[in-house]
Structure 1
Amino acid sequence: MSSILQRTSLQVIAIGGLAIGLMLSPVPAEATWDGYRVTGTGGVGLKVRTDPYNSGAGVVTVLSDGTAFSAVCAVRARDVLGNTVWHRISAPVQGWISDYYTTTPGFNQYIPGELDCNQYNRASATSWALAHWNDPEYYPGNDCTWFVSQALWIGGLPQTATWYPHSVEAVNADSFKNALVRANFATIRELSWSDYTAGGAQIGDVIGYDWNPDGRFDHVAIVTSISSQIPIVTQHSVANPGRQWWKDSNGNLLQNSMPGSRVYLLHVVP
């Protein structure tokens, strides 16, 4: 199987690429809404889509009438016979289903208490990162992007047709950046090393690093706190619960230890 490793940094802050073929990990646990089933398809079954907005979106599988599912969150998307609610499900497979063909209460309504997939909970994302920063790396030495992807999903950003567990965009730093910007989940701006506020970064935002530089991200870390206006980031590869975004894990200024490197803010849009 082909490798999609990014360039390897010799610094203690490693890149966010991957080598496909390493062990796969479970997706972080999410709150789910259970007890509902597929219904009313007339035996045709309900298609689980990769995207709730596009009528031509890929089909993950087809669920037969009576199949139970676990809903993670919902959005208003493509109209199906007057019902615009789509649920993102985590079981029995991951994907999107139309509310029209379910036993959920009401018509064209979210399940009571169900989250909106488009709402980003910064506190949840950062809490997960701080709780799991020292977990074993699933992609040893190249786990930074997978770590950040999981945190953002826990924060409520929806998976997409290309940004999903163990996809290239979930584990490769530059592909991850492109995925978030393309989906309008984040805006990007280059930062100055002298701006210690990182452009006003907020908790739950992502700092991206281009070591060479060649315009491609080599490493990402998530902002988990702000100290005296300085964003503190948490990361994998190497694991670090909190460092000032402009310093490496040894406390050295990155602009000195990585001459010519560039840095960017990925501001997650609520």
Structure 2
Amino acid sequence: MATTYNREAAVAYAQKWWNSYNPKFPVFDVDCTNYISQCLYAGGAPMRGQPNREKGWWLGNNTWSLSWSTPHSLRWYFAGSTIGLQGTQVDSPTKLLLGDLIFYDFEGDGRYDHSTIVTSIQDGMPYVNAHTNNSKDRFWNYMDSYAHTPNTKYVFIHVKDHF
């Protein structure tokens, strides 16, 4: 039976934990995707693939998939997932909804370095929350970030509403 992605629950989780860490989950030095994964999970996204770290999206038994914890891996998980948690790439940030994701390739080298979750939309533009350098309701393009370069590329993922 299909379940629905609860965007409001994902965003509520993102707002609650944007500047702290839920003790029920591990904390990473580079914590952005772990935080995004927790938000997706709070929104009802189903885990799958355990125990293979290279497959699926999951956390359990003191280990996790690469897609749970790494922006590059989660970005490519969405590109190939056909069951469970899925998303589609859209061509503009204006097509994102609350609970959707943005991936950042700051160097423009094809390796995604950062991930965020859309927590509000103002004047048609998404604002995001993130961990690592914890951010709340930040304008989506990160041009004010120390990591941003003129080569920065983005991938916009619309999380599918049904799993």
Superposed pair shares fold, TM > 0.5: yes
Question: Displacement, 1:119?
Answer: 0.9
Q: Which one has more relative contact order, counting CA pairs under 8 Å at least 6 apart? A: 2
Alignment of 1:69-148 (within 5 A): 75=1, 116=2, 118-136=3-21, 138-140=27-29, 142-148=30-36
Per-residue deviation at 1:232? Answer: 0.6
Structure 1 counterpart of 2:140: 245
SS of 1:128's equivalent in the other structure is helix
Q: Who is 2:57 aligned against? A: 163
Alignment partner, residue 217 of structure 1: 112
Shift of 1:181: 2.8
SS of residue matched to 1:149:
helix
Q: How many residues align?
A: 144
Corresponding residue of 1:175: 73
Q: Equivalent residue of 2:13, what SS?
A: helix
- 1:261 alignment counterpart: 152
More strand by share: 1
Classify the secondary structure of the residue corresponding to 2:94.
coil
Q: Which consecutive aligned stretches of 4+ in structure 1 deviate over 3 angstroms post-superposition?
A: none
Percent of aligned positions that are identical: 30
Gaps of 5+ in 2: 50-55
Relative to the length of structure 2, the TM-score reads 0.80
How many angstroms does 1:154 deviate by? 0.9
**RMSD between aligned residues:** 2.0
Deviations 1:215-240 (A, max 9, x none): 22110000001111111100001111
Name structure 1 gaps, 5 residues minimum.
Answer: 1-74, 76-115, 192-197
For residues 160 and 180 of structure 1, do their structure 2 counterparts lie closer, same or farther at Cα, with a shift above 3 Å needed?
farther
The CA deviation at 1:188 is 1.6
Deviation of 1:190 (Å): 4.8
TM-score (norm 1): 0.50
Q: CA deviation at 1:247?
A: 2.9
Deviation at 1:212, TM superposition (A): 1.4
Tell me if the contact between 1:190 and 1:263 (Cα under 8 Å) persists in the aligned partners: no
1:199 CA drift (Å): 3.4
Name the one with the larger helix percent.
2
Q: Deviations over 1:135-180 (max 9, x none)?
A: 148102x100000001001101111103101321100111111222
